[in-house]
């Protein structure tokens, strides 16, 4: 990324990103082409699920927290605050408030 900052033309940047994408895809294509690869046999099928409730529901002897529902509500409120207010509206307001100040209140 830092090397692309020194390039002067957009075509050069695109060429570098395409070349980088090609280099990144080489290990994946080589690993899937080897049928007798010992690591893929040892690992087997992998399931990827990105859910916070999925990880806790798979354990058989999970311990429930007292007032766990309260922590779940607090987590959901904090996540809502971060996603809506902090992540979206805060950067937008940092851009728009100085613009409004300059446009309407400065002469």
Question: Model confidence over 80-101: pLDDT tens digits?
Answer: 988 888 888 888 888 888 888 8
Whether the CA torsion 46, 49, 52, 54 is positive or negative: it is: negative
21 sits in which H/E element: helix 10-33
CA nearest to 31, candidates 23, 22, 40: 40
pLDDT (tens digit per residue) in 27-71: 777 766 666 667 666 777 777 666 666 555 555 555 666 777 888
Does residue 7 contact residue 16 with C-beta atoms inside 8 Å? yes
């Amino acid at each position: 990324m830092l090397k692309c900052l020194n390039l002067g033309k957009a075509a050069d940047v695109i060429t570098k990103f395409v070349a980088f994408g090609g280099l990144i895809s080489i290990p994946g294509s080589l690993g899937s082409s080897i049928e007798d690869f010992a690591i893929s046999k040892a690992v087997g099928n992998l399931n990827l699920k990105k859910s916070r409730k999925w990880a806790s529901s798979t354990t058989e002897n999970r311990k429930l927290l007292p007032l766990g529902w309260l922590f779940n509500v607090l987590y959901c409120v904090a996540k809502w605050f971060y996603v809506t207010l902090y992540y979206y509206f805060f950067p937008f307001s940092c851009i728009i408030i100085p613009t409004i100040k300059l446009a309407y209140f400065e002469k």
